[in-house]
Each structure stands twice: as structure tokens, then as C-alpha cells.
Amino acid sequence: MSAPRLAIEGLSVRIGDMTVVDRITLSIGAGKVFGLAGESGSGKSMTALAAIGLLPQGAVRSGAARLDGNDLFGLDEAAMCGVRGRHIGMIFQEPMTALNPVRSIGDQVAETLVIHAGMHRQAARDVAADRLDRVGLPADRIGLDRYPHELSGGQRQRVMIAQAIALQPALLIADEPTTALDVTTQAGILDLLGGLVAEGDMSLLLITHDLAVLAGLSSSIAVMKDGRIVETGETETLFRHHSHAYTASLLAASNHRPQAVPLPDKADPLLRIEDLRLGYRGRGRLFRAAPLSEAVRGVSLSVDEGESVGLVGESGCGKSTLARAILGLEPPRGGSITLAGTAVTAGQMMPAHTRAAMQIVFQDPYGSFNPRHPVERLVAEPFHLLDDAPTRAEASRAVGAALEAVGLSPQDAGKYIHEFSGGQRQRIAIARALVIRPKLIILDEAVSALDVSIRAQILDLLAGLRREFGLAYLFISHDLGVVRAITERVLVMKDGAIVESGETERVLASPAHPYTAELVAASPQIPQEWVA
């Protein structure tokens, strides 16, 4: 057997006195896809950066790495520059920012060729056109002179891949290449990556937090936790016969479904939306009418009291705009919204008690709180909506109770938000939403930014609260798995309209609309029989 394509032996990475990667060893065969899985902070990205010598300043690595038997760590910076891009290509998570905004895509792909192959710019651009064509961006459709901002996220990720494979490297490292993308786009990129490996001799190191992504693509997997590889093996074997408890919990969490909440027998309609149209006129220019962009075109839906309804769709489909309109933050251009019989109108005219009937939890646990205020003040903010605002002591008690309800301690009220982890922050966000006992909580991608294990806990919490307080949820998400786990009914939204709705299980199991079918098909799945 020939030497492995990439062999990492006893690699450690230290930043200051923290060990972020701890003596890991792995090897990737030629022409294989190797999956490196783990939650955030597990050290998987650091491993990749250490391998190509791009660790952040202050990070120190030890151990050894060999590419096709050649030592990498012994090379000096200049020699390493000759390896990067030529023998090892790398792509990153965030296609929106990973490309230089001021240079055309053709030039950026060609640059790899210019610096390594010493090609002339024009010759390099010809090759670049070929590579872009290979990743699905034919020059007649997407010109070489286009700039990154003119492309969609998926297209940008394809440009990234094109420049990484421009010189047909021996190894391609992909660090969360699809995490920022919609599911259908993700499927396309994963297909492309798989195809690139299949058609040549290239190996792929695929780093992801999503085990489901690896299930269909990689030949072997290593699972990382706290800087160590806790388990490694052939993909199917690992899924079927994982030996480490962490792998087990990870798998369990990614498929977690909280206990179902019994629906009330007879529920009154809580939220009713009729033929809602949203959008805004852009700013007019001289001699030109302001353009109208319509984000929501004629949506009707209803949510009953105590019901949990999912709203799925890809980015830009209008689901967040819809959520803002329900909250009375966005004036409708047509149609109506009523909440518990009262019309929702945007602006200050909206009666406080109507506002008080609904609250929202956002996706980003970091941006949801004013970092200058203590938790008590943050959670108490909605009291502003009550006509008879509670006294300080009452408010303080209510905040304490809300914190307890979400699994935190009333003592946490005096702390500031930066003292909490992401999962805890999301609990505080829920406590804030809960504190004035609304009837409806809108959860806007509320668990999307969380690691699977934390996500499972929050889903449990949401289910428990619903049972306890009889809340209704409008659960907005792009993740079908989560929607399936927590909603009874689902609405599928595309281009500002709802294309399909119905019971969650039914819709996801046998979609009626082709778009729903596409979504379901594109969602990476771990084969049932592997985890059964």
C-alpha cells in the first residue's frame, strides 16, 4: 500500500497556555474523502490550518504532517507558499467574505495559476475559464469579469472551489464549505465536491459540524472533541457501531425530537393573516421611479392558540420580513394581520396589549442583547408594554421566575450578557420573550446557530414551556429536521409566497409541491438503517 496522501502524526496546537489541538493523528488515502466532525471549538479548523501552516499569530504547532510522504512542517515559509494552492487547496465556510471584493472572479482564479505555474495573465484566464466551467460557472453565463458581489452565495463557493482546484492539487481541504448555504445549494456543492474527488486522484478533507453531510460523502470520519480525536473509522462502521459515548450523544442530539406536546382539544385562532403583501419602494433617482421590491406577495395563514407552526424556506424567501410584519415592525402594503382579534398595525399606533401578546427570539445569541445592561434589565424590557407596569420588586420576581423557567438561576439576573455561553444566552432570550406571558412566540431561526447538543436542550426547553404555558410558536427555520422535531404544522415558503402547507409529518414525508420535494431531497440525511 502506498503512503497516505496526508498523514498527521501527534499534531498539537497551543495558543498561549491553551491546548486547542491535542496530539491528534490521522491519515487520508489518495482519492478519498475524509470527514472531520465536531462541534464548535473542538479544534477541527485549527487542525486544517496547522496542516497548511496558516495558524493565527501566536499559535504554536508540534508534531508532524506529511503530504505524499513529504514533510510539511519542516518547510520554510517560502517553500510552504509553493505547497499551498499548488499541492493543497483550501476552501472556507463563508463564501460571502472569502473572495476579494475588488477583483474579478476570473482574476482571482487565474491568480493561483499565475503565482504557481508562472502563467501569463491571459493564459491563466483561459485556464481559469475552464476551471470555472468545471465547477458549474460557464463563462458564457457567468463572465470572468464579474465581481463577487454580483454572484449568489453558492456561485461564490463555486468560485472558491475553482481557484482551489485550479492546479489540481493532491489534497483539498474544505472547512465547513456548505454551512452558510441553503440546503438546495448545499446539495449542489456537495455533489460538486464528490464529483471532483471521484473523477481524479484528489483527496478531500471535509470539515463539518453536520454528521449528516458526511454520511453521504466521506469514506472515513474522525470525530473531534476538545482538541482530541475521540473516535475514527470508516463512515458506515462509525455510524453503525460507534464506540465512544460522545459520538453516540452527537448522533442522538442531531436527531433529537422532544416529547410531543398535546394540543388543546378546541383551540381558538390566535394569529390570522389574510393576503398579506410586504415590500418597499427603493429610493427613486432623478428621472426614474422608485423600484418596488416585494418580499411577501399575498400570504395567508393562521396559527391557533397553543399551536406550533413551522415556516420553512431558503434565505431571501421572505420569511423574516413576514415575521417582522407580524410583530408590527413592517407596514403591510396590502392584506391584514389580526392577533387575537386585534388588527396589527405598524408603528406607534399599535396598542401595547396587542404587542404584549407576542414576542420573538432571534437566531444570533450574541446580537440579541444590549451588552451594557444587566440580565435583569434585559429580561424586564417587555414590561414596558404593560399598562400597569410592575413595581421594581414585582418585576424582579417575575424576571427571577422567567429565568428559572428557562433553566437558569434567579441570581443570574445581576450578571451581564457576556458572562453567558451561546446556549445560555438563547435561554435568556426565551426568558425575555416569556416574561410578560405572551400568547405567541416567534422563533426566528432560534436554534440555527447552536451546536447540536445545545440545540437538543433548547428544543426540549421550548417543548416544555409550551406545555407549561400553553404558548403558540411560529417556528421559522431553514432546517427541516428541526421543524420536524418541534412543529405540528408546516408552511413552505418560496419567493414570498406559501407554496405548501399541512401537517409537518405528512408534508415532509410526501411533499405535494415540487419545491418542497426538492428541499426534502436536498436535506442531508443519515440513512435510517445506520442509526436504527
Give the interface with other proteins as residue ranges (CB under 8 A): 52, 54, 77-78, 81-86, 89-90, 92, 94, 97-104, 111-112, 115-116, 147, 149, 160, 163-164, 283, 285-288, 324, 327, 329, 348, 350, 352, 355-356, 358-360, 362-364, 367-373, 378, 381-382, 384-385, 418-419, 432
Alpha helices in 145-286 (DSSP H): 153-164, 183-199, 211-215, 235-241, 245-254
* Between 216 and 382, CB nearer to other proteins: 382
Q: In the numeric block, which cell numbers belong to residue 191?
A: 455533489
Phi-psi region of 166 (alpha: psi -120 to 50; beta: other; left: phi over 0): alpha
Nearer to other proteins, 82 or 341 (CB): 82
Q: What are phi and psi of 94, to 5 degrees?
A: -100, 90
Task: Closer to other proteins by CB, 323 or 462: give it.
Answer: 323
Q: Which residues, 6+ apart, have CB-to-CB distance to 110 below 8 Å?
A: 119, 121, 124, 125, 127, 128, 166
Number of Cβ atoms within 10 Å of the Cβ of 14:
17
Report in angstroms how near the CB of residue 100 gets to other proteins at its nearest.
Answer: 4
How many other CB atoms are found less than 10 A from the CB of residue 243? 10
Own/partner contacts of 143-151, CB < 8 Å, gap of 24 or more, are: 143/106, 144/104, 144/105, 144/106, 144/107, 145/104, 145/106, 146/104, 146/105, 146/106, 147/101, 147/102, 147/103, 147/104, 147/105, 148/99, 148/100, 148/101, 148/105, 149/101, 151/105
Least distance (Å) between residue 174 CB and other proteins: 11
Min dist CB 434 to other proteins, Å, is 13
C-beta of 320 vs 487, nearer to other proteins: 320
Q: Least distance from C-beta 489 to other proteins, angstroms?
A: 24
Contact (Cβ atoms closer than 8 angstroms) between residue 293 and residue 280:
yes
Pick the closer one to other proteins by CB: 111 or 500. Answer: 111
Task: Report the Cα–Cα distance between both ends of the chain, in Å, rounded.
Answer: 35
Grid coordinates belonging to 306: 397553543
Q: How far is the CB of 57 from other proteins (least distance, A)?
A: 8
Taking the complex as a whole, how short is the minimal distance between the CB of residue 370 and other proteins, in angstroms?
5
The minimum distance between CB 515 and other proteins, in angstroms, equals 29
What is the nearest approach in angstroms of other proteins to the Cβ of residue 157? 12
**Whose Cβ is closer to other proteins: residue 104's or residue 235's?**
104
Nearer to other proteins, 101 or 262 (CB): 101
Going by their DSSP bridges, the two strands 18-28 and 6-15 should be labelled as antiparallel
**Can you give the length of the chain in residues?**
532
CB of 299 to other proteins, least distance (A): 20
CB of 126 to other proteins, least distance (A): 18
Shorter beta-carbon distance to other proteins: residue 114 or 212: 114
**Minimum CB distance to other proteins smaller for 231 or for 444:** 444
**CB nearer other proteins, residue 83 or residue 456:** 83
β-sheet with 269-281: strand ranges across:
292-304, 269-281, 334-339, 342-343
Nearest-CA neighbor of 226 among 445, 387, 39?
39
- Distance of alpha carbon 275 from alpha carbon 491, whole angstroms: 15
Residues 6+ apart with CB under 8 A from 459: 256, 257, 258, 447, 482, 485, 486
